[in-house]
Structure 1
């Protein structure tokens, strides 16, 4: 079963999209407006998965390296890159 990925960038100009409507699948209530995406949703799915694994390992880079089969320095560098990316997204 394919997951439908939430688009975060405009297919026309590549600007960040905003959410304009939320709806309840249970009662069909809809809320309309202009809502910005949370920072973590602006990240690609692969980086979101990295963050989830980081939390699930209790923040242990050693455990993440073991689970992913890459070296500790590789995981550390990836985390450092992700930190910089999140800082940039927060300032935009």
Structure 2
């Protein structure tokens, strides 16, 4: 039996923006279905980049220097990305946990391609 392609389920309602819940599960093999309200998976809401960061972090046993090397970014960028991941998973305590970089460091990271413009915009907004 060939495996069907896997798609990421959306986590937010495209109509109102509220959190979606899982209400039906099915078996590809026998066609059985189970209906009900099932618990939310925090990790299922991560995008590919965030999942890769988490995999690299776990594979490196929590060593951010190894994450930095694997992703080809600076240590402050690796740390900032990991802090953003923690915040998304509800594990960050507050905005004070976001590491600070100088404006020059952020712009330098963008210039080398180690930091994308969207991340830079968030970091620069936190500097103000």
The answer as to 2:38 corresponding to 1:35 is yes
How many residues of Structure 1 are paired with residues of Structure 2 in the alignment?
87
- Runs of 4 or more, structure 1, over 6 Å off, are none
Displacement of 1:62 in angstroms is 0.9
Q: Of the candidates 73, 84, 109, which is equivalent to residue 81 of structure 1?
A: 84
Displacement of 1:23 in angstroms is 0.9
Displacement of 1:57 in angstroms is 2.0
**In 2, Cα distance between equivalents of 1:45 and 1:9:** 17
Secondary structure (helix, strand or coil) at the match of 2:35 reads strand
Q: What is the TM-score normalised by the length of structure 1? A: 0.79
Q: What is the TM-score normalised by the length of structure 2? A: 0.59
Give structure 1 stretches of 5+ with no counterpart.
none
Q: Of the candidates 13, 24, 29, which is equivalent to residue 16 of structure 2?
A: 13
CA RMSD of aligned residues (A): 1.9
Give structure 2 stretches of 5+ with no counterpart.
92-128
Bigger relative contact order, structure 1 or 2 (CA pairs below 8 A, ≥6 apart): 1
Structure having the higher Rg = 2
The answer as to 2:54 corresponding to 1:51 is yes
Displacement of 1:39 in angstroms is 1.4
Equivalent residue, structure 1, for 2:104:
none
Displacement of 1:79 in angstroms is 1.3
**In 2, Cα distance between equivalents of 1:30 and 1:3:** 18
